[in-house]
Chain A
Amino acid sequence: MQVRVQSDIFDPGAELNAFTAVIDGAGAVVSFSGIVRDVAGGLQTMEIEHYPGMTESALQAIAEEAMQRWNLADALVIHRYGRLQAGEIIMMVATASPHRKDAFDSAEFLMDYLKSRAPFWKKEVSSAGADWVAAKDEDESALDRW
């Protein structure tokens, strides 16, 4: 299991290959990559703030819970902070399991939890000004299914 919090950009393809190369006995790998979107147009940067210390421990706890709840060979979580541009990678998760369903379900669980339980906050800076991205009710209610 690997959890990384970093400002540096990373290559999700290379990360996925490295993850897949070392899993043992897993027949299924699922990965998700999150990319900065320019939703309203005119996005200059997305600033991601986080809570150093708590971020790492929260992600670690979420990944450990996934490892316990599903039959997983391994799990990977990488999340960036700092100033990002539209089109840049923000984060990725990958899960490896003997079975496809465990790999898909645990990847969705990781995404749902790190959306509203990992201490990151996004601010969109555009020519019109700067606004904190508001949490969505549906992100909170997405946790109920787990």
Chain B
Amino acid sequence: MDVLYFAWVRERIGIPKETVETSAATVNELVAELRQREERYEVAFSDLSSLRVAVDQTLTDFDASLSGAREVAFFPPMTGG
């Protein structure tokens, strides 16, 4: 599964994209796996209320299923316009 990071999440983790081998069933489970990896992930995911998530390029919630998902993206609240 491809995991993408944008804006300060990308800067904190240090990469824009990576491929992750995971059996996580939900976004929350994926986040829990990532947080255990290294401190930079723990820091980036320390406050989920300041993050948004998209699964296969559709905005969703952290309890969303990852069944069949190919791409998950984490980013701060959007500031378009």
Which residue numbers of B lie inside 8 Å of A, CB to CB?
4, 6-8, 54, 57-59, 73, 75-81
B59's partner among A91, A117, A133 (CB-CB below 8 A) is A117
Jot down 25 A-B pairs with beta carbons below 8 A, ordered by A.
Answer: A34-B81, A49-B7, A51-B4, A51-B57, A51-B73, A58-B59, A90-B81, A91-B80, A114-B80, A115-B78, A117-B59, A118-B78, A118-B81, A119-B6, A119-B54, A119-B75, A120-B79, A121-B75, A132-B8, A132-B76, A134-B79, A135-B76, A135-B77, A135-B78, A140-B77
A110-146 Cβ-contact flags toward B at 8 Å (1 or 0) = 0100111111111100000000111100001000000
Interface size of A in residues (CB-CB distance below 8 Å) = 26
B57's partner among A54, A121, A132, A133 (CB-CB below 8 A) is A54
Q: A54-B54, A119-B75, A121-B79 are in contact. List 4 more A-B contacts (CB 8 A).
A: A51-B6, A114-B81, A115-B79, A115-B80
Chain A binding surface, main DSSP class: mixed
Q: Could you tell me the distance between the alpha carbons of A52 and B58 in the complex, rounded to whole angstroms?
A: 12
Q: Which residues of B contact A135 (CB under 8 A)?
A: 76-79
Which residue numbers of A lie inside 8 Å of B, CB to CB?
34, 49, 51, 53-54, 57-58, 79, 90-91, 111, 114-123, 132-135, 140
Q: Knowing A51-B57, A117-B59, A119-B6 are in contact, say whether A79-B79 is a contact too (CB < 8 A).
A: no
Which 9 residue pairs are nearest across A and B when measured between Cβ atoms? Answer: A135-B77, A120-B80, A121-B7, A54-B57, A115-B81, A118-B80, A114-B80, A133-B79, A122-B79
